[in-house]
Structure 1
Amino acid sequence: MRIVHTSDWHLGRTFHGVELLADQRRALTHLAELVAAESADAVIVAGDVYDRSVPSADAVRVYDEGLAEIAAAGAQIVVTSGNHDSPTRLGAGSGFAAAGGLHLRTSIADIDRPVVLSDAHGDVAIYGIPYLEPDTARRHLGVESVGGHTAVLGAAMTRVRTDLAARRTRSVVVAHAFVSGAAASGSERSISVGGVETVPAETFSGADYVALGHLHSPQRVTDTVRYSGSLLPYSFGERTHRKAALVIDLDADGVSAVRAHELPVVRELSSLTGVLGDLLTDEQYDAAQDHYVEVTLTDPVRPTDAMRRLRERFPFAVHVQWERPHSGSGVDYRSRVRGRTDAEIVASFIADVRDEPTKGERVLLERALRAVVGEPESDAAELTLFDIEAIVAESA
């Protein structure tokens, strides 16, 4: 039997405010093409189908179209819910969906009710464990002590092993969890409860293969306990990831091979650093013009209207920040302000976030500070119309 393991579609997610549904739709088409090319018997989705518990209508449409393509490619589909999903909404109509080859496992009651598929070597039982929130799941699983994710997943696997012992067949467990030995990428939502977030890989002992979701980079915990990673990169920290789906082959004795199949890149990510003028003209940045781009500007003075100007060359620029060159002095804040006047501290702040205030701006700052501390108006120099005009001209 051949199974394609995927997870963390996060349909409906935005990337720095940019809508990703078109990219996600293309990625699901690539996944369906992989299913057809590999003649896969089943596709596993290990949680976080959606990015929020109440998905938008457009996200549901992309989900429906993606499932239809995968089913048309010839595969049964097994889906579990993750910490971003609403188990009730995702699992709606599960009884009817199963007749069409979509098997939804989103409730604790279904943990020991596997999806049973058959090949020339017999049955394969696929157990779906939805994301289990420890505080609520432990009561349904009969866990009396507070043991975090390890306790509730251990209780869930006890149910799985009990059912499996009666079947004596090959097995696959699908779960959404943070397993010890794996590494987060930074774009995952924390599932820690009381500081207990990770579970040991031994929790899942007894299964021939464990298909995990939650972490966004493809990675191996053990030979048969693996993360497929997310469908797309969802942070610039993932720009070096090669997104993949895992292809698992089962023979008569269990897992015979696990292969990572890289998914085509829908749109690459680039992090650029430099002065605005160079970024807008230098040929070395040509390759990033069609990428999602984040930019760190290093101009001595903060450029105005930087994002608009950057998007003229990089239409998919999504984030820009300014780092003043050599701004780090290594001196703590108390030492920096000791012995300085209020006007000097305010001027230093303006220099840090923009550039050095002009002479005219310093006059305005002095006048404003005198007003704040309540100095008599006669102590503050009056500004004539000529003074104001000179200050405006200097600032311009």
Structure 2
Amino acid sequence: MRILHTSDWHLGRTLHGVDLLEHQAAYLDHLVEVARAEDVRAVVVSGDVYDRAIPPVEAVTLLSETLARLSQHAQVVVTPGNHDSAVRLGFGDRILRDGIHVRARVADVGRPVEIPDPDGGAPVLVYAMPYLDPDASRVALQDGDEPLARSHAAVMGAAMRRVRADLAARTAHAPVRSVVMAHAFVVGGEASESERDIRVGGVDSVPAGVFEGVDYVALGHLHGPQRVTFPGATVGRYSGSPLAYSFSEMRHAKSSVLLELSADGSQGVTGEPELLRAPVPRRLSEVSGTLDDLLGAAGEAHRDDWVRVLVTDTARPREMTARVKERFPHALVVQHRPAAREERPSLTLAVTAASDPVVVAGDFVAHVTGATATDAEVAVLRAAFERAGAAERSA
């Protein structure tokens, strides 16, 4: 049986002010086509479907339409992540059309979605876990009279104990195949700049060992597609986000995961899960150099990119931003970063009421440009401060 694993759609997100919904819709069109063409039996979406708890109306409409289209080809299982509102995403989960399963309640972590095999093989049990915030889940998942420890490892461990208990009861009678969906930072994963911090008590990670005993772990939260090493025969991956949501992701190969489970349940995942490249709406890149270089041949290959431009001239060029944006119409970030800046210590001067404002401003000029203020620049600064002081005295 084929399973399609995806996560971290972040519908409604922007990139440095650019609305990404059109590009997110193109990815979802691609996902529907993959489900159809590859004869996928289940699509699992491991959290962060929306980018925020109260998403824009257009994002809600896009999700509704996408789930309906996917359900024409496969069973669809969706869980909320740390960006979603579990209550809002899970509203109406008991009255959804056949083939769509939104699992947003912590109490349901040990109750799987059963995917029957049309060819008569062992069923696939999908244990869909919403994001388990330790503060919100440590009571709901406690095993005895005392709440669980306030940590991601404690609540995920308790959830997996429920999963393994349910699996043990079922496998005593017939073979099954098992998939766990989890939105978490598993030890060994590599983060980027665009995932929201989920640290509790200074710790944000879950040991990989808590997932032992299942066939596949469909992870969400980290935006880079990557495999995580689990003990035993368990296989698992982060599918990653479908689009780059920060410049730290510009070298990611965005994808979805297509995996196949053995028919009789004896082998778990068959072969290596396949990464299916997601469509790239516009390349994300960074260019650095003097303004003359960037306006010349050095910038030619990046004219159509979403680009971060670092201008390294010692002095800030006149009309720098306007000239850069004329050259790079899709520039998202333009910064003046003189080449000598990296070699200079941070500005740590203490400024008091007795400090000469001209000296303070001159030190700032030296810090920003990497060169001592010239006599002409000092004269301009002094004249400006004198005019400001005169205006204040006459007020």
- Aligned equivalents of 2:344 and 2:367: distance in 1? 14
- Aligned: 1:366 with 2:385: no
Q: Which residue of 2 aligns with 1:111?
A: 109
- Aligned equivalents of 1:35 and 1:321: distance in 2? 42
Any idea what SS the aligned residue of 1:226 has? strand
The 3 A distance-change label for structure 1 pair 285 and 70 is farther
The 3 A distance-change label for structure 1 pair 336 and 107 is closer
Alignment match of 2:188 (pick from 181, 186, 189):
181
Q: Given residue 231 of structure 1, which amino acid in structure 2 is its aligned partner?
A: P
Mapping of residues 1-396 of structure 1, within 5 Å: 1-72=1-72, 74-97=73-96, 99-119=97-117, 120-142=120-142, 144-168=147-171, 169-222=176-229, 224-251=235-262, 252=264, 253=266, 254-257=268-271, 258-282=273-297, 284-330=298-344, 333=347, 343-353=358-368, 359=375, 362-366=378-382
- Aligned equivalents of 1:327 and 1:245: distance in 2? 40
- Aligned equivalents of 2:346 and 2:324: distance in 1? 34
Offset at 1:366?
3.2
- Aligned equivalents of 2:345 and 2:187: distance in 1? 39
Offset at 1:373?
9.4
Identity of aligned residues (%): 47
- Aligned equivalents of 2:116 and 2:367: distance in 1? 67
The 3 A distance-change label for structure 1 pair 22 and 341 is same
- Aligned equivalents of 2:380 and 2:319: distance in 1? 25
> Deviations along 1:350-396, whole A, 9 cap, x unmatched?
3544687665653353356678999xx9xxxxxxxxxxxxxxxxxxx
Q: Which residue of 2 aligns with 1:380?
A: none
Offset at 1:320?
0.9
Q: Given residue 187 of structure 1, which amino acid in structure 2 is its aligned partner?
A: S
> Deviations along 1:244-273, whole A, 9 cap, x unmatched?
111110111221132112222221111000
Structure 1 stretch 162-171 or stretch 342-351: which is displaced more? Answer: 342-351
Instruction: Give unmatched runs, 5+ long, in structure 1.
Output: 378-396
- Aligned equivalents of 1:32 and 1:306: distance in 2? 44
More helix by share: 1
- Aligned equivalents of 2:180 and 2:82: distance in 1? 17
Structure 1 stretch 30-39 or stretch 187-196: which is displaced more? Answer: 30-39
8 Å Cα contact 1:307/1:317 also seen in 2: no
The 3 A distance-change label for structure 1 pair 203 and 344 is same
8 Å Cα contact 2:150/2:200 also seen in 1: no
Offset at 1:85?
0.3
Offset at 1:101?
1.1
The 3 A distance-change label for structure 1 pair 358 and 332 is closer
- Aligned equivalents of 1:364 and 1:297: distance in 2? 25
8 Å Cα contact 1:201/1:225 also seen in 2: no
8 Å Cα contact 1:71/1:101 also seen in 2: yes
The 3 A distance-change label for structure 1 pair 123 and 352 is same
8 Å Cα contact 2:222/2:238 also seen in 1: yes
| TM-score of the pair, normalised by structure 1 | 0.86
- Aligned equivalents of 1:329 and 1:260: distance in 2? 42
Offset at 1:225?
1.8
- Aligned equivalents of 1:23 and 1:333: distance in 2? 42
Offset at 1:107?
0.5
Structure 1 stretch 25-34 or stretch 257-266: which is displaced more? Answer: 257-266
The 3 A distance-change label for structure 1 pair 335 and 362 is closer
Any idea what SS the aligned residue of 1:225 has? strand
Q: Given residue 57 of structure 2, which amino acid in structure 1 is its aligned partner?
A: A
Aligned length: 370
| TM-score of the pair, normalised by structure 2 | 0.86
Instruction: Give unmatched runs, 5+ long, in structure 2.
Output: none
Any idea what SS the aligned residue of 1:139 has? coil
State the Cα RMSD in Å: 2.5
Q: Given residue 259 of structure 2, which amino acid in structure 1 is its aligned partner?
A: I
- Aligned equivalents of 2:133 and 2:343: distance in 1? 45
8 Å Cα contact 2:107/2:141 also seen in 1: no
8 Å Cα contact 1:217/1:228 also seen in 2: yes
The 3 A distance-change label for structure 1 pair 330 and 350 is closer
Q: Given residue 209 of structure 1, which amino acid in structure 2 is its aligned partner?
A: Y
- Aligned equivalents of 1:85 and 1:332: distance in 2? 39
8 Å Cα contact 1:324/1:352 also seen in 2: no
- Aligned equivalents of 1:361 and 1:307: distance in 2? 22
The 3 A distance-change label for structure 1 pair 307 and 18 is farther
Q: Given residue 236 of structure 2, which amino acid in structure 1 is its aligned partner?
A: V
Q: Given residue 214 of structure 2, which amino acid in structure 1 is its aligned partner?
A: A
Offset at 1:281?
3.0
- Aligned equivalents of 1:362 and 1:289: distance in 2? 38
Larger radius of gyration: 1
Structure 1 stretch 324-333 or stretch 208-217: which is displaced more? Answer: 324-333
